[in-house]
Structure formats: structure tokens, C-alpha cells
Amino acid sequence: MVLDISPEDLPRTGDQGIGRVAVIGAGAWGCALAAVARSAGRAVTVWGRNAETVTAINRDHENPRYMPGVPLPAGLNATMDVAQACAGADLVLIVTPSRTLREMCGMIRPHLAPGVPVALCCKGIERGSGLLLSQVAEQELPGHPIGALSGPTFAKETALGHLTAATVAFPFSYQDRLHPETSTAAKVAVAMGSNAFRPYVSDDIIGVEIGGAVKNVIAIACGMMTGAGFAENTRAALITRGMDEMKRLAQVLGGRRETVTGLSGAGDLTLTCSSRTSRNMSLGVQLGEGTPREKCFDGRNVVVEGEINAVSVVELAHRVKVSMPICEAVHAVLHKGAPLGETFARLWARPIEGEPASLSLSIDHPADDAAINDLAERMS
Ligand SMILES: NC(=O)C1=CN([C@@H]2O[C@H](COP(=O)(O)OP(=O)(O)OC[C@H]3O[C@@H](n4cnc5c(N)ncnc54)[C@H](OP(=O)(O)O)[C@@H]3O)[C@@H](O)[C@H]2O)C=CC1
Ligand SMILES: O=C(CO)COP(=O)(O)O
């Protein structure tokens, strides 16, 4: 169900709450979130850099390039003018690929009113610096509360109004702990929430962001093994052990392990590792089937965050000395030319460990090279 209210009919609620939302990015997720905010009764303007897409959103209420056939609410405005998109906004959602975040922050900076909260809806870790996206945005947008909106949310399903839940995380002040319902996270959750889109409030931005960045890499691993002919046992093992990698990294960086078991961690990991609707899983499947990288997605340029972020995740893990063997395997195959079959066969042949890791043990068993070669052969 989509409410069709003209932006002029809506009060600007100012201090009372969030009336206007600017969405930076007119791709699949940007348009889906714009539809969510519009359906929740907000006035919404989407900024996009592609004239045809902007025209199609305004004229046809559709994004034919990224979500063909999915109707968007009629009252949703799109523009190529960033000043117009940000004018009067009480909330900004940044929804472009993670590698563009710094650039997007610089672009919107001159046009934001002081103190307007910015929620990051992209998933990744900055390459080189190892910074979380929220830390990048804090550097570029001083004085603005920076948070994240993340969860198991395929854009098309969300835009079509399928029941969806996600986490909204902003750091809490002392006051926020006394009155969580007036925190920025709660205000953003109220602004975005509707009968179909259910936000949960969190103060653990680190835990939420790590979940979003790492799950894409694990989804590529699941795809690779699926494409190579392995089945549900293998996928379940990768999901579970992948979640452990997420938990370890989140905890060392100051996030909470229980956040990783929530929507933005376990929820998104399960979704992304279960369906070829996921671009990350789909890339893995194609590679596992033996398709050369340049021929994947029929040669189209598709946003696969886990591919780029395998580098930043592994670099970060090395920096903080966290063991992430599945991410390492994906990184080795994608970026170091390691053979997929042998890499995953060796992943399975690692020393026996404790579960949980606090049961600290490591039992070497002699690597049976012939067996590893057999397994690798089976995967090639
Ligand atoms: N799709 C989904 O289901 C979900 C996606 N996300 C996350 O959202 C983020 C965006 O993904 P999604 O919307 O799916 O991607 P899409 O490929 O659908 O769209 C990407 C958008 O970003 C724009 N863009 C790309 N590069 C730049 C740039 N340098 N400057 C400005 N705009 C740029 C594209 O514009 P143009 O068309 O002009 O190239 C396009 O509008 C990712 O981090 C993804 O992980 C999160 C949850 C769900
Ligand atoms: O993040 C997503 C769902 O929550 C989208 O996943 P993909 O980028 O793999 O399509």
C-alpha cells in the first residue's frame, strides 16, 4: 500500500519530528527507501545524477534502470540538483555505493541545515583507511549526527511493500540513555516506519556497520560453494562460521556481539546467503560455476559491495589481528588469483578449533594433500 499525499499537504514538523527526507542516490535501494519514507507520510526528494532516471521517477513513477516494473509513489520527487534535494530536509539518507561515500558527503555538505541527521544506507568499510562508513561521514560532515539504516532488505521486495524490518543505529548520548524514545535513532525510526516497514532502534553503530560490510563477503563465499556444486550443509556452515567472523571483528572494534545476532548481522547474512537475488551471492555462484569475472552478470557493471569490501575487511582484520578465514578465502580468490577449489578445500582442512572460540584450542591434523586435491578437483 502506498499513501499518495502531495508534499505540500504535509506539515514540516521541525522539532516535533522529521517532515522532509532527502535521499542521495537514485538506484534500487535509494528508490526503495524513498518509497518507504513516502509511504510513512514524509515529503521525499531523491537526488540522482542520471537525467533519464530522474525524469522516469517524476513522470512514470518508476526506476526502469534499477527496478523495472516496480511502481513508486506518485508524490515522490526526483532531482539532479543537490541543493534542491537537501533544501529543508530534516533527514538525509545516503544510498550510493560505499566507495562514493566521501564524495557524496562533500557534495551535500554545503546544502545541509546545521545538525540535520544523516543515515548511511550503504554497506562497506573504506578502502585504505579501514574506517567505518560512519567515521568517514563524521570526518566529512562535522556537526551532523551520523547513523546507519541496515538490515535484511532486498530493494524490490521493500519497494513492493513486503513486510520488512531493519535496524536504525545512531550513537546514544547520556540523555538518549535516559530517554531513548527521543534519541535521533528513534526519531529516524519513527520517520521511516509504516505498517510494512518496521524499524528497530539501536545505539551500536559499529556492530550494525560491521554486519552490513562482512555479510556481503560471506555471501560471495556461499555463492562460490553453491556454484561449485556444494549444497545446504556447506552453506549453513559458511553462514554460521561467517557470523562468528563478524562477531569477532565487531567486538574487537567496540561493537556488541548481540548486535551481530540481530537484523543487520544474522538477519542480513541469512537473506544475502540464501538467494541469488543477492548480487553478492550471485557473483559467487557465477564464479563457482566457472564464469570468468568479466562475463559475470552478462558483462554488466553491477554493484557488488562484497567484492570491493573483501579487501577492506581483510585489511582491517589483519590490522586488529582478528582471524577471518572465510573472508580471507574470498579475498584470495577474487583478488589474488587463488584457485577457488583448492582455496576452499584448504579452508575446510584447517586445524580443529573450539566452538565457541573461548574454548581455546587448535589441533593440527596432517593435511592430506591428495584428499585436498580431490576436493579441489571436484570444485573445478
Ligand atoms: N539493492 C538492495 O537490495 C540493497 C542495497 N543496499 C546498499 O545500498 C547501496 C547502493 O546500492 P543499490 O541502490 O542497490 O545500487 P544500484 O546499483 O541499484 O544503484 C547505485 C546508484 O548509485 C549511483 N552512483 C554510482 N556511483 C556514483 C557516484 N560516483 N556518484 C553518484 N552516484 C553514483 C548510481 O547512479 P548511476 O545510475 O548514474 O550510475 C545509482 O543511482 C550499496 O551499498 C548496497 O549494498 C542496502 C540494502 C539493500
Ligand atoms: O544488502 C542487501 C540486502 O539486505 C542487498 O544485497 P546484494 O547487494 O547482495 O544484492
Nearest ligand, measured from the Cα of 121:
1
Closest residue by Cα to atom 43, ligand 1, is: 122
- pTM, entire model: 0.95
Residue 194, number of CB atoms within 10 A of its CB: 19
- Same-domain status, 116 and 261: no
Best mutation site among 36, 162, 301, 303 for ligand 1 pocket (most ligand atoms within 8 Å of CB) = 303
| 257 assigned to a ligand binding site | no
Query: For cell 535501494, what's the residue?
Result: 29
> Could you tell me where the DSSP H helices lie in 200-304?
205-227, 232-252, 257-260, 268-272, 279-288
- Same-domain status, 121 and 57: yes
- Same-domain status, 142 and 259: no
For residue 105, is it within any domain? Answer: yes
CATH number for the domain that contains residue 277 = 1.10.1040.10
Instruction: Give 304 Cα–ligand 1 centroid separation in angstroms.
Output: 10
For residue 1, is it within any domain? Answer: no
For residue 62, is it within any domain? Answer: yes
For residue 17, is it within any domain? Answer: yes
| 337 assigned to a ligand binding site | no
Max intra-chain CA distance, the chain: 72
For residue 208, is it within any domain? Answer: no
Best mutation site among 24, 46, 49, 134 for ligand 1 pocket (most ligand atoms within 8 Å of CB) = 49
Active site (catalytic) residues: 215
For residue 250, is it within any domain? Answer: yes
- Same-domain status, 169 and 263: no
Distance (Å, whole) CA 174 – CA 203:
11
pLDDT digits (tens, 9 = 90+) for 363-378: 987 777 887 787 778 7
Please work out whether the CB of residue 280 comes within 6 Å of at least one atom of ligand 2: yes
Nine-digit cell string for 3: 499513501
* Residue 266, domain extent: 214-379
- Same-domain status, 100 and 224: no
- Same-domain status, 189 and 243: no
How many helices, marked H, and strands, marked E, lie in the chain? 17, 10
What string of pLDDT tens digits covers the 380 residues of the chain?
Answer: 344 444 444 444 444 689 999 999 999 999 999 999 999 999 999 999 999 999 999 999 999 999 999 999 999 999 999 999 999 999 999 999 999 999 999 999 999 999 999 999 999 999 999 999 999 999 999 999 999 999 999 999 999 999 999 999 999 999 999 999 999 999 999 999 999 999 999 999 999 999 999 999 999 999 999 999 999 999 999 999 999 999 999 999 999 999 999 999 999 999 999 999 999 999 999 999 999 999 999 999 999 999 999 999 999 999 999 999 999 999 999 999 999 999 999 999 999 999 988 888 999 877 778 877 877 787 77
Domain boundary among 176, 203, 230: 203
CATH number for the domain that contains residue 148 = 3.40.50.720
| 137 assigned to a ligand binding site | no
For residue 224, is it within any domain? Answer: yes
Residues lining ligand 1, Cβ inside 6 A: 25-30, 48-50, 66, 95-98, 100, 121-123, 153-155, 303, 305
- ipTM exceeds 0.90, yes or no: yes
- Same-domain status, 191 and 110: yes
- What is the tally of structural domains in the chain? 2
- Same-domain status, 222 and 195: no
| 328 assigned to a ligand binding site | no
Domain boundary among 203, 222, 253: 203
- Same-domain status, 240 and 197: no
- Same-domain status, 182 and 234: no
pLDDT digits (tens, 9 = 90+) for 96-134: 999 999 999 999 999 999 999 999 999 999 999 999 999
Nearest ligand, measured from the Cα of 304:
2
Query: Does the CA dihedral 299-305-307-308 come out positive or negative?
Result: positive
- Same-domain status, 159 and 275: no
- Same-domain status, 293 and 168: no
For residue 2, is it within any domain? Answer: no
Closest residue by Cα to atom 30, ligand 1, is: 100
DSSP secondary structure of 77-146: EEES-HHHHHTT-SEEEE-S-GGGHHHHHHHHGGGSPTT--EEE----B-TTT--BHHHHHHHHSTTS-E
Domain boundary among 173, 203, 233: 203
Please work out whether the CB of residue 268 comes within 6 Å of at least one atom of ligand 2: yes
Instruction: Give 156 Cα–ligand 1 centroid separation in angstroms.
Output: 13
Please work out whether the CB of residue 264 comes within 6 Å of at least one atom of ligand 2: no
